[in-house]
Amino acid sequence: MESQVLKAVISYDGSKFYGMQKQPGKKTIQGEIEHALTKLNIISEVKHAGRTDRGVHALNQVISFDSPYFWEIEKLQNSLNKILHPYIHIKKLSKAPQNFNPRFDAKKRSYRYLISPIFSPHTADYVTYYPKNINYPLLKESLRILKGRHNFEYFAKTGSSVNSYVREIYHTDIFEYKNLTVIKIVGNGFLRGQIRIIVDFLLKINEDVLSLNDLKAQLNGKLISKHLAPPNGLYLERIWY
């Protein structure tokens, strides 16, 4: 039976899963969506634009899968959402070219990281608790250093298997919104753990444990600090094609 390629924009609560990518014996976003498809007698591998770690959320992750032509798109979206509810939600489902690849066709991606000085058990899975004053001018300058094309090898998880560690960051920002500190980074692509390692580095600069010169040195190939900020404050925000 001939099939159509469908593109879905999805959001999910990453605190309920062991990450995006399917893993044996673990509850993952990819695994849950493929399971939902099988309930509708659709057997297809789900491809995704980016692998998010356990506990990391998405506002607009992009996936693709094959579907028989007889499925009407709106009905399929509603049927999948009923099965996936409440922690995964398909925001938009549409036809895509047969050769569409959500990972390799992406032009740029944005992430945001949320930090709160106020602890609440109700938001603990969704923001990172950090009870210290933020030096916004200092961290804005730190983020400006990251802009441009760099080798981010020492800002990637150990064991990352990639052809190149070079990535380009187009835009950065840090600002206060209500009681939250929001860090935003837009780039052509990101390595595993890159945003979380950057955020940890920034917070150490904020505490005067590390300096702007340390940040420049690590970008230039000297390992200074390589630790992951907690996953719960990280959101895959948007992907452009």
Residues recognised as catalytic:
53
In whole angstroms, give the CA distance from residue 236 to residue 62.
10
Which residues are CB-contacts of 220 (< 8 A; sequence separation ≥ 6)?
A: none
Amino acid at 25: G
DSSP state at residue 148:
E
In whole angstroms, give the CA distance from residue 15 to residue 3.
33
Which residues are CB-contacts of 85 (< 8 A; sequence separation ≥ 6)?
A: none
Find out whether 126 and 15 touch, Cβ atoms under 8 Å.
yes
What the block records as the tokens of 45 is 């591998």
In whole angstroms, give the CA distance from residue 44 to residue 216.
45
| 111 assigned binding-site residue | yes
Residue entry with tokens 């420049």: 216
Helix (H) or strand (E) holding 202: helix 194-206
Query: Rg for the chain (alpha carbons), in Å?
Result: 19
What the block records as the tokens of 114 is 């949320």
- Residue 225, classed as helix, strand or coil, is coil
Q: How long a stretch of residues is the chain?
A: 241
Annotated binding-site members: 111
Annotated binding-site members for substrate: 111
